[in-house]
């Protein structure tokens, strides 16, 4: 059963003191000034720096795991779109030492103890084959924080991010072991009806979630699917 969001870690991460205001500077765009001010006043950014996480995104996985026990019992996890490594750091902390953690991204990621990191285009023809060959067995969890660069056009961004979610899901149902889990980023509106039906066919529980650390003004959501049925069970149905 899903639990409520863990507010204790959120309370510890709230910043104290006056809000920092950033003055405009010559040559700096107003959008850059707004981004810098938001970063300086974001308690999750400050807490990520304090704890040594490479990005505030680490708290999104922490909160999803705290609510859904996403990583409970997991020993083999694939992290798609892992740069700069915040989610992979959480995996290395929360999984047993002998676990297999594989992270891939288009960008190079600085090494993380306990994880194997590849520079790879997940959409390339040989990506799935290479990943499957590297795995020691069926995955317990497949994660995807993949996202395209924003175009500023809502429908285009949603379609492109959904396409990445679909590709990650197609991979997940090939490599997950029975009762495995899948979590991926989507945008406002979530996964479309057809994709949700596919997920519900393969998993016992499928939900949309917005962790507290996901900014309120962000269009970002996550789809969480747990209890992978496995091909044998699907054949029986």
User: What digits encode the pLDDT tens for the residues 124-143?
Assistant: 999 999 999 999 999 999 99
Q: What was the pLDDT predicted at 118?
A: 97
CATH superfamily label, 55-236: Vaccinia Virus protein VP39 (3.40.50.150)
Note if the bond before 84 is cis, omega within 30 degrees. yes
Conformation bin of residue 27: beta by default, left when phi > 0, alpha when psi is -120 to 50: left
Q: Can you name the residues that pair with 139 across neighbouring β-strands?
A: 176
Work out the percent of the chain whose per-residue pLDDT is above 90: 62
Give this prediction's pTM: 0.83
Mean local confidence (pLDDT), 101-114: 97
For residue 179, is pLDDT > 80? yes
Question: Which residues form the catalytic set?
Answer: 185
Segments making up each domain of the chain, as ranges? 55-236
Distances (CA, A) of 211 to 6, 94, 177, 192: 10, 18, 26, 20
Task: Count the residues in the chain.
Answer: 237
3-state secondary structure of 210: coil
Q: What is the dihedral of CA 105, 111, 117, 118, to 10 degrees?
A: 60
């Amino acid at each position: 059963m899903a639990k409520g969001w863990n507010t204790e870690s959120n309370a510890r991460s709230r910043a104290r003191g006056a809000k920092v205001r950033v003055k405009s500077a010559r040559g700096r765009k107003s959008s850059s000034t707004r981004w810098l001010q938001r970063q300086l006043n974001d308690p999750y950014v400050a807490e990520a720096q304090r704890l040594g996480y490479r990005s505030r995104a680490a708290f999104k996985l922490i909160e999803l795991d705290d609510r859904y026990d996403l990583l409970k019992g997991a020993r083999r996890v694939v992290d798609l779109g892992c740069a700069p490594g915040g989610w992979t750091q959480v995996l290395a902390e929360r999984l047993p030492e002998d676990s297999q953690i594989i992270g891939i991204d288009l960008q190079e990621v600085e090494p993380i103890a306990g994880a194997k990191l590849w520079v790879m285009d997940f959409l390339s023809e040989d990506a799935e084959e290479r990943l499957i060959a590297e795995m020691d067995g069926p995955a317990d969890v497949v994660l995807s924080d993949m996202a395209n660069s924003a175009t500023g056009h809502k429908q285009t961004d949603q379609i492109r991010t959904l396409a990445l979610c679909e590709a990650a899901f197609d991979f997940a149902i090939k490599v997950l072991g029975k009762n495995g889990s899948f979590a991926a980023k989507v945008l406002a509106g979530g996964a479309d009806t057809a994709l949700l039906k596919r997920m519900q066919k393969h998993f016992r529980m499928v939900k949309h979630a917005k962790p507290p650390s996901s900014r309120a003004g962000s269009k970002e959501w996550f789809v969480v699917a747990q209890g992978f049925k496995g091909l044998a069970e699907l054949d029986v149905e």
